[in-house]
């Protein structure tokens, strides 16, 4: 088939690379967002040019000349891999078989941009990914295929995305293309009665309340590691917490009750958090022991005051 790959960043690049390396389809063009002044070239653009694939960077998909240019490609399918620009129906329907899109959740759950953070934040044991036929709604449209992944008790946002969803997503993109090529691919309606929508997981969602249970705080730290980062305050400065573990501890919420070479333990409700890696006031990420030594941290210091 003749395929348009439309995407950005590492997932878009990896999808393009996998399709080209498999060699069963011709990628007739790569669509990606326009370059931003002062920002690095998007890796999908850089890779496409290295492999001799034409790159098109429209600011929108509504102008007649943009649509006519896409029609001239005579594409059979558009694969949307990590999108940041809305593609309306007229453009999506130009390829013979339409367009399919990747989303890192088990739709209709977790529609929206931070779909991996929230299941971890809320203590879910499973999440997954969907390849679907997008419509004009946000992450709506019929499902082509879905894959589940387990959320382990200590998995972080980075673990779930980079170690689980990312590689499985690339495999699923190839599988979806195979299903379209074979004819009569699945089109399963989403159950809107089960739909959830969550917006961006932002800095405000990472602020730690040490009065909450240690389990809730631990989930919050895992769900925002590496971004946007859970945080508390130390001497009026923002202290972001990354690598950590849930441990037994007692004392006043926010109190540091143990300092070791491994890190420092902070009391939360019904337990504590062993903090292993931090960043103070926008500086470099460092081992907690380095932070402890540099700031002469002692037992009894309270965070979040």
Cβ-contact 280, 234 below 8 angstroms = yes
Please give the pLDDT value at position 54. 98
Burial class (CB in 10 A: 0-12, 13-18, 19+), 223: buried
Q: What is the pLDDT confidence band of residue 305, given thresholds at 50, 70 and 90?
A: confident
> Looking at the chain, how many residues does it have?
305
Tens-place pLDDT, residues 204-219: 999 999 999 999 999 9
Q: In CATH terms, are 2-194 and 203-295 the same topology? A: no
What CATH code is assigned to 2-194? Answer: 3.40.50.170
**Upstream peptide bond of 178 is cis (omega within 30 degrees of 0):** no
What is 203-295's CATH superfamily? Formyl transferase, C-terminal domain (3.10.25.10)
CA–CA dist 45, 30 (Å, integer):
7
What H or E segment, with its residue span, contains residue 2?
A: strand 2-7
Burial class (CB in 10 A: 0-12, 13-18, 19+), 145: middle
Give the C-alpha distances (Å, rounded to integers) separating 45 from 12, 17, 36, 56, 80: 9, 11, 13, 9, 14
**pTM of the full structure:** 0.94
Please give the pLDDT value at position 250. 95
In the chain, domain spans: 2-194, 203-295
Tens-place pLDDT, residues 121-165: 999 999 999 999 999 999 999 999 999 999 999 999 999 999 999
Beta bridge mates, 77:
3
pLDDT surpassing 90 at residue 199: yes
Q: How far is CA 128 from the centre of its chain?
A: 11
**Upstream peptide bond of 228 is cis (omega within 30 degrees of 0):** yes
Please give the pLDDT value at position 84. 83
**Upstream peptide bond of 108 is cis (omega within 30 degrees of 0):** yes
Cβ-contact 175, 89 below 8 angstroms = no
Tens-place pLDDT, residues 42-95: 999 999 999 999 999 999 999 999 999 999 999 999 999 998 889 999 999 999
Tens-place pLDDT, residues 80-109: 999 888 999 999 999 999 999 999 999 999
Please tell me the number of Cα atoms within 13 Å of 190 on its side-chain side: 27
């Amino acid at each position: 088939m003749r395929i348009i790959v439309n995407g950005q960043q590492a997932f878009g690049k990896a999808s393009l690379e996998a399709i080209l390396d498999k060699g069963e389809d011709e990628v007739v063009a790569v669509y990606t967002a326009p370059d931003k002044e002062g920002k690095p070239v998007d890796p999908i653009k850089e890779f496409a040019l290295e492999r001799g694939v034409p790159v098109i960077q429209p600011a929108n998909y509504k102008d007649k000349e943009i649509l006519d240019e896409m029609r001239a490609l005579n594409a059979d399918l558009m694969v949307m891999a990590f999108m940041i620009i809305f593609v309306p129906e007229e453009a999506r329907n130009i390829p013979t078989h339409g367009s399919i899109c990747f989303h890192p959740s088990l739709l209709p759950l977790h529609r929206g941009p931070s779909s991996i953070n929230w299941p971890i934040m809320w203590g879910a044991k499973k999440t997954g990914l969907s390849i679907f036929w997008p419509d004009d709604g946000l992450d709506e449209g019929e499902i082509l295929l879905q894959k589940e992944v387990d959320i382990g008790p200590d998995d972080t946002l980075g673990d779930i995305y980079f170690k689980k969803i990312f590689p499985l997503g690339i495999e699923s993109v190839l599988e979806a293309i195979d299903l379209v090529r074979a004819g009569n691919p699945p089109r399963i309606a989403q159950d809107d009665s089960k739909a959830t929508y969550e917006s961006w997981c932002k800095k405000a969602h990472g602020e730690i309340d040490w009065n909450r249970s240690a389990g809730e705080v631990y989930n919050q730290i895992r769900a925002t590691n590496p971004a946007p980062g859970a945080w508390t305050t130390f001497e009026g400065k923002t202290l972001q917490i990354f690598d950590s573990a849930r441990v037994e501890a007692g004392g006043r919420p926010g109190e540091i009750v143990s300092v070791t070479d491994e890190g420092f333990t902070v009391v939360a409700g019904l337990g504590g958090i062993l903090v292993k890696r931090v960043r103070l006031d926008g500086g470099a990420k460092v081992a907690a022991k380095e932070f402890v030594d540099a700031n002469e941290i002692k037992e009894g210091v309270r965070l979040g005051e």
